[in-house]
Amino acid sequence: MIFITRRERFNAAHRLFRKDFSDEKNLEIFGKCSNPNWHGHNYELFVTIKGEIDPETGFLLNLKQLSKLIKDRVIEKIDHKNINIEVDFMEGKFASTEVLAVSIWDQIEADIRIYGAELHAVKLFESENNYAEYFGK
């Protein structure tokens, strides 16, 4: 079994908040990410897939194919967008790094399987120091 990882980057705006909380309570719980007038992050996404090497190509999966899949299903929908209000796969969800990592997994998992590989991990950096990792359960 071999693992390969593709990195993609995007930037997006968000706000972490609950409508039923006051701005003060949101600030207390969600910190700076609850700013009522939004703010952005430069996200870094690492998608790791696993499987067997194809003896004909020496590849697990052509990384161009993987990159295109991530771009089509995730990056084009989220880059330079507001995660809370204009990203279809985040509709009605918290715009946290954790929820976003799980949602990105759901966007690409089935297609990677169709390509003959298996999704192993989605690692999403919201900042240099904070990231979430999801392994499918």
Which residues have a Cβ under 8 Å from the Cβ of 42 and sit 6 or more positions away?
9, 11, 127
**Element housing 90 (H / E):** none
Please name every residue paired with 118 in a beta bridge, in sequence order, or none if there are none. 50
> Which residues carry out catalysis?
33, 80, 126
Cα-only R_g, the chain:
16
Using CB under 5 A as the binding rule, whether residue 33 contacts Ni ion is answered as yes
> Which CB sits closer to Ni ion, 30 or 89?
30
Structure tokens at 104: 């990105």
Binding mask 107-136 for Ni ion (x = CB under 5 A): ------------------------------
The stretch among 25-33, 63-71, 97-105, 113-121 that binds Ni ion (CB under 5 A) is 25-33
Using CB under 5 A as the binding rule, whether residue 90 contacts Ni ion is answered as no
Number of residues located near Ni ion, criterion CB under 5 A: 1
